Structure 1
Amino acid sequence: MFQVYFTADLDEELSNKLEEHAQSISILYDKKAVIALFNSEEEIPACTRDYILSIQTLDEEVWKYRYLDSFNGIAVTPSVFIYPATKGKMCDSSYKYTIAINPKDAFGDGTHPTTRMCIQTLESMTDTIAPEKRSSYSLCDIGTGTGIIAIAAELFGFGTIDAFDIDPLAIQRAQENAAYNGCNRINFFVSDIAKVRSGTQYTIVVANLLSDIIEKNAAAIASLVEKGGTLIASGIHDRWAQGIIALMQKYCTLVDKNIMDEWHCLVFKK
């Protein structure tokens, strides 16, 4: 794994090139440099090489987990706090919900704007449902990663919760995270959205995925939403948002959208 520092004066076109080729995590910006991770030096776009300040080789196990040393958690909403399980059990009465996540090998530690917006949107929807009725609502979390959204759904009181991911290791981590948070009603399983043919439909479907995956599987994603149900679609960068909206509106109606740091969270009603 290679950590590359670029000068901070990259124009939009060059920044987009980096976003297309950087691996595993989003590009980090600060006042002095643009930092990106690549699996190999060959993946670094040629057009950006004149802007390189330095290249460092990182041990994969080190870079994946070292940020946890200084990460103490994040308040996703005024009532939801997410923190690394590596810090041990936390009890903070100032938050209604506290979720411990070990992100090892899977996406979803609560810091990315798309994850935060999904949980914020889900909580806002939950607040409109009487507590005694929430157990009658079903939810499907597509591309569950660490299981963070499914775990939040159980804590919010949803009844039936299915969560799947194409990566068996992600499902293993999600199950571990659910158990650590005392969640035992989530049905985690390995599956590919392109191959899902269960016939089961849900009150709410959350698809926090790459835009390309949403685009290729729009019909399959929409088919999981019951009539009158809601689809929360995120993982969509600003430059792809209008295309995804136009595509999904073949199946559902856009009723709300949120934007954070050029990432979109779209809410559709079927």
Structure 2
Amino acid sequence: MGDYYLEYRFHIVPREPATEILIAELGELGFESFVETPEGLLAYISEQDWTENLLDQVQIFANKDFSITHERREIPQENWNAVWEQSFEPIEVGDLCVVRAPFHEPRGVKYEIVIEPKMSFGTGHHETTYLILRLLIDLNCEGKTVLDMGCGTGVLAILAAMKGADTIDAVDIDSWSYENTLENSRRNGQERIAVYQGDVSVLEKGKEYSLILANINRNVLLTDIPAYTEHLTSGGLMVLSGFYTEDLPLISQCCEENGLRLDNTLQKNNWQAAVYRLS
């Protein structure tokens, strides 16, 4: 586990659509958390994943339609809570769900999820997490076997557990996310969520799920959809996000090639989520 994260503070003019493009590119390079600001964007990456010339790969910097500058600083692990307390506001997902931090007052809604985000992705602030939460609220989880791939803070697995899922496995390749999901599961009284560190290869051979949630970037999804499908029951649902609306045809093509058909979609600020059903 790394001892610190790097915070990049980007100043972006004009902010849109440059911010969305920059988030997509940084996500491909291993940046894990993003906070949009009036000036542009805060982006965070583990020192384990960082290299000196990493940003040389960001193509939008060469686009003369945008002015993008940045500053960088190190944030020790123990200072992460202070960073989030300055910027983390409760997130309302429809009328039934709120995602908040421990230092916020309770809201008294049906599904109140308390998240200590630390350095993990998945607080509901990013559109993709919000979209899956919103879709999940309307899905029947009672008695289901659920897999949360790329679990981040564990927020999706926690909501599935609150909605009556029978068995929930949560998987993330990042050690901070693994620890954070364990902590947040306990914090929300959902200790029965089984948490694993790794990628799709850690899934138990032959185990099937009736609902698979995957909020990961486009390239990982395209690579792993065949493996996810092998673990999905007949008639089961796969809820995917982490990609832009223009990438939906590509994701859907990959899903169709693996026996999945599009069941529902939801969009927010050009980010997309989609629900597929295994025939």
Equivalence for 2:55 = 43
* Superposition deviation, residue 261 in structure 1: 0.9
Once the two structures are superposed, residues 181-209 of structure 1 have per-residue CA deviations (whole angstroms, 9 ceiling, x without a partner) of: 11122111123114545211111111111
Give TM-score scaled by structure 1 length.
0.83
Looking at secondary structure, tell me which structure has more helix per residue: 1
Residues 148 and 156 in structure 2, CA contact (< 8 A), matched pair in contact too: yes
Return 5+ residue gaps in structure 2 as ranges. 1-6, 45-49
Match of 2:247 among 240, 250, 253: 240
CA deviations 1:101-152 (Å, max 9, x no partner) are 01112111111111111111111012xx7xxxx1x21111111111110011
CA shift for structure 1 position 3: 1.6
Distance 1:244 1:100 in 2: 32
**Corresponding residue number in structure 2 for 1:118:** 132
The TM-score with structure 2 as length reference comes to 0.81
**Counterpart in the other structure of 2:85:** 68
The number of residue pairs the alignment matches comes to 257
Q: CA RMSD in A?
A: 2.8
- What is the distance in 1 between the residues matched to 2:15 and 2:114? 37
User: Aligned-pair distance for 1:55?
Assistant: 3.5
Cα offsets for 1:223-244 (capped at 9, x unmatched): 1110011111111112322101
Aligned partners of 1:28 and 1:34 also within 8 Å: yes
Q: Secondary structure at the match of 1:189?
A: strand
1:11–1:82 distance in 2 versus 1, CA, 3 Å:
closer
For the 8 Å contact 2:84–2:118, the answer to whether it is kept is: no
Residue in 1 that maps onto 2:11:
5
> Which one of 69, 78, 81 corresponds to residue 95 of structure 2?
78
CA distance 1:236–1:65, shift in 2 (3 Å): farther
Query: Counterparts in 2 of 1:1-270, with a 5 A limit?
Result: 1-8=7-14, 16=21, 19-21=24-26, 23-26=31-34, 28=36, 30=38, 33-35=39-41, 37=43, 43=55, 45=58, 46-48=61-63, 51-52=66-67, 54-61=69-76, 65-85=82-102, 87=103, 90-93=105-108, 95-126=109-140, 134=142, 136-194=143-201, 196=203, 198-251=205-258, 252-270=260-278
Distance 1:244 1:69, change over 3 A: same
Q: Does the CA contact (< 8 Å) of 1:83 and 1:99 recur in 2?
A: yes
Matched AA of 2:25: E
Structure 1 portions without partners, runs of 5+: none
